[in-house]
Amino acid sequence: MIKVEHLVKKFGLRTAVDDVSFAVDKGTVLGVLGPNGAGKTTTIRMIAGYLPPTAGAVSVNGIDVVADPVAAQKQIGYMPENTPLYDEMTVAGFLGFLAELRGFSGKERDRRVDAILEKCMLAKVRHQTIDTLSKGYRRRTSLAQALLHDPAVLLLDEPTEGLDPNQKQVVRDMIHAMAQEKIILLSTHVLEEVEALCSRAVIISEGRLKADSAPADLKKRSASYNALTVELLAPRAEALQAFGRIPDVERVEFVAGDDRKQVLRLVPRDRQSLAVGAVETAAQHKWMVTEMRSDPGRLDEVFRQITTTADVAKPAV
């Protein structure tokens, strides 16, 4: 379990992370979201035992990271932002070096390196020096480095940044395959990734924790959540009027239509479900409904709401 309690990090006068608390259990993939410079990387670095917090506590599987970073790091596999690697080394040489730092030597080291090269699909480039690798291979080398010692906790700082869609999928599949037996924390600003991978998401903005819930619940905060799109056979003006009279409907938008068929969008006052009211209204007027769907909400909308209200709330300097 990763436990972060009232974490604060100040760089001089600037507060990069401001009173952040959360806990992550085994089997959870936690997505850390936030705009650039929000404090995601600083938070992850503190969990990884690289930066000391100004205040607050971090523990990994019960080990206090601040008091004993080395013991904590033995539980952690960490893939830093921008994949720093020793450019002059070969992929296999680099992983062999990291394996030695992780306490493997001789045959065991070679076995680990071979296994991880296979797992991360790096066998083809094992003898290439790192500075000749493409971005995708660099990422995978960095991920391989984090997985060498089969850690209980994985911290991945923007693991798919700068990859093409196929490479992204490879990395996602790997994360997905490990999700059950590990604690995984990954930072990203690709929102689709959160929906595809994470069982929980936190949003950090200006160093503060703004939201912490399942991505599906997060989407419910979206202003368009439960907006109902109805396709029906009805005269336009009457339909607009009739649906507008449903008590929970704030407004009715005309999307498309001709003299027979209309597509209307009903926006609820407070994200209530409108399906029952809409069906009743159509039945009363004997209008035939051909299709109806309610909006699941959109993560990018929520992300924008949460991270920009923070900006607005604070007076500009």
Partner 1 sequence: MEFCAHARAIAKREWSAYFHSPVAYVFIVIFLALAGFFTFSVGGFYEAGQADLRGFFFWHPWLYLILVPAVAMRLWAEERRQGTLEMLFTSAVTPAQAIAGKMAAAWGFLALALALTFPVPLTAAWLGQPDWGVVVSGYLASLLLAGAYLALGMFTSALTRNQVVSFVLAVVGGLFLILAGFQPVTELLARWAPAWVVDGVAAFGFMPHYEAMQRGVLDLRDFLYFGSATGFMLFLTQLVLANRTGR
Among 1, 51, 57, 223, which residue interacts with partner 1 (rule: CB under 8 A)? Answer: 51
The least CB distance from residue 10 to partner 1, in Å, is 13
The least CB distance from residue 256 to partner 1, in Å, is 52
Residue 158 vs 231, nearer CB to partner 1? 158
Beta bridge partners of 229: 265, 293
Map residues 52-81 to x or -, x wherever contact with partner 1 holds by CB under 8 A.
x-------------x--xx--xx-x-x-x-
**Cβ-proximal residues to 196 (8 Å cutoff; 6+ apart), any chain:** 172
3-class secondary structure, 259: coil
289 is an interface residue for partner 1 by CB under 8 A: no
The least CB distance from residue 161 to partner 1, in Å, is 14
Tell the burial category of 7 from Cβ atoms under 10 Å away from its Cβ (0-12, 13-18, 19+).
Answer: buried
- For the segment 217-236, give every residue that binds partner 1 (CB under 8 A): none
103 is an interface residue for partner 1 by CB under 8 A: yes
Asked if residue 17 lies in contact with residue 28, where contact means CB atoms within 8 angstroms, the answer is no
3-class secondary structure, 225: coil
Question: What DSSP string runs through 267-295?
Answer: EESSS---HHHHHHHHHHTTPEEEEEEE-
**Choices 11-19, 92-100, 201-209, 233-241; region in contact with partner 1 by CB under 8 A:** 92-100
128 is an interface residue for partner 1 by CB under 8 A: no
The least CB distance from residue 74 to partner 1, in Å, is 5
50 is an interface residue for partner 1 by CB under 8 A: yes
Residue 113 vs 264, nearer CB to partner 1? 113
Residue 56 vs 235, nearer CB to partner 1? 56
The tokens for 62 are 């019960």
137 is an interface residue for partner 1 by CB under 8 A: no
The least CB distance from residue 70 to partner 1, in Å, is 5
CA-wise closest residue to 228 among 207, 253, 200:
253
Residue 144 vs 191, nearer CB to partner 1? 144
Phi and psi at residue 102, to the nearest 5°: -85, 10
13 is an interface residue for partner 1 by CB under 8 A: no
Among 1, 26, 61, 97, which residue interacts with partner 1 (rule: CB under 8 A)? Answer: 97
192 is an interface residue for partner 1 by CB under 8 A: no
Which of 189-217 are b and which e, b meaning 16 or more Cβ less than 10 Å from the residue's Cβ? bebebbbebbbbbbbbbbbbbbbbeebee
Element at 301 (helix H, strand E) = helix 299-313
DSSP 150: -
101 is an interface residue for partner 1 by CB under 8 A: yes
Size of the site for partner 1 (CB under 8 A): 30
CA-wise closest residue to 266 among 242, 286, 287:
242
Among 86, 241, 253, 309, which residue interacts with partner 1 (rule: CB under 8 A)? Answer: 86
Asked if residue 21 lies in contact with residue 60, where contact means CB atoms within 8 angstroms, the answer is no
Q: Side chain identity at 280, as an amino acid letter?
A: E
Among 39, 49, 277, 297, which residue interacts with partner 1 (rule: CB under 8 A)? Answer: 49
- Interface residues with partner 1 (CB under 8 A)? 45, 48-52, 66, 69-70, 73-74, 76, 78, 80, 82, 84-89, 93, 97-98, 100-103, 105, 145
